[in-house]
Structure 1
């Protein structure tokens, strides 16, 4: 398997809670990048990315989504791929229970404008999209929320339960992992 980098655009970005839980110590490089031809939508505590809307799908002016290009540390690729697939509830191509689909996309590296092929988790067809996030930057959207506690303050203590949409519209609760609960390879 070719070890492609990952393009992360939401809670896996540096400074966000899932970055510390799932990426810290597993990456060799993280650098700013943008995914052209995509829209970012608000979700229940995390964003959804939508590419190239077709007939009957969500439409709007396609823009670039801001994020980071993340490369796995030596020997960490298989473990990182497995952990991210589980986090993003990706069970396989086209699986009806996927929350996200994992696709290969061309991402523009910010430092030199070079296009790099990377794995991107995009919204699965059953995802319930919220409002579009102007400018395609999850971090800008979250910084505007009044009264939102700092992410580092939210990391400690017992896990919280968060509500997520289900295929039939019924909420389900999912326990957020704590740092000590995340498996790491030696």
Structure 2
């Protein structure tokens, strides 16, 4: 069985703190990509981003191909607060979604972590919408 790659859009992107902690030395390949159907937000009260469903938006990031697959995915699931599929206490839910390679237009199903709004009572008043869908650019230009 082939491993399913992950789509990263925030602190797991190269140059950020969770990349260094969870992915450094484990990345075989980064593929610039876009995910349609999600809105991107920065949560200054947490220091990292969230994506939430919105059919008219898109989010930019990378598809990451990793070695030490099982261990790496397990560590990322733990970091993202995934307890189980759609568990009500997840911080992020992990779903298989279609992501498009920016350079070739190839579409690939990847694991994507999106935010569980049910557990954040201040999200709507405190989270900052990033309309261009690129958290890395947002953070570098802050």
Q: Which secondary structure does the structure 2 equivalent of 1:42 belong to?
A: strand
Per-residue deviation at 1:2? 4.5
RMSD between superposed Cα atoms in Å: 1.5
Count the aligned residue pairs: 135
- Structure 1 residues 102 and 2, CA gap change in structure 2 (3 angstroms): farther
Bigger RCO (CA 8 Å, 6+ sep): 2
TM-score in terms of structure 2 length = 0.88
The answer on whether the counterparts of 2:82 and 2:91 sit within 8 Å (CA) in structure 1 is: yes
Name the counterpart of 1:135.
132
Q: For 2:8 and 2:23, how far apart are their aligned partners in 1?
A: 11
1:65 aligns with 2:59: yes
Partner of 1:15: 15
Distance (Å, rounded) in 2 between the aligned partners of 1:140 and 1:31 = 17
**What is the match of residue 92 of structure 2?**
100
The offset of 1:139, in angstroms, is 1.1
Structure 1 or 2, whichever has the larger Rg, is 1
Which runs of structure 2 are paired with 1:1-12 in the superposition (5 Å)? 2-12=2-12
Which residue of the other structure, out of 109, 112, 117, is the alignment partner of 1:125? 117
- The structure with the largest strand share of the pair is 2
Distance apart, 1:138 and its partner CA = 0.3
Does structure 1 retain, via aligned residues, the 8 Å contact 2:89–2:119?
A: no
> Which residue of 52, 68, 81 corresponds with 2:73?
81
The ranges of structure 1 where at least 4 consecutive aligned residues each deviate by more than 3 angstroms after the TM superposition are none
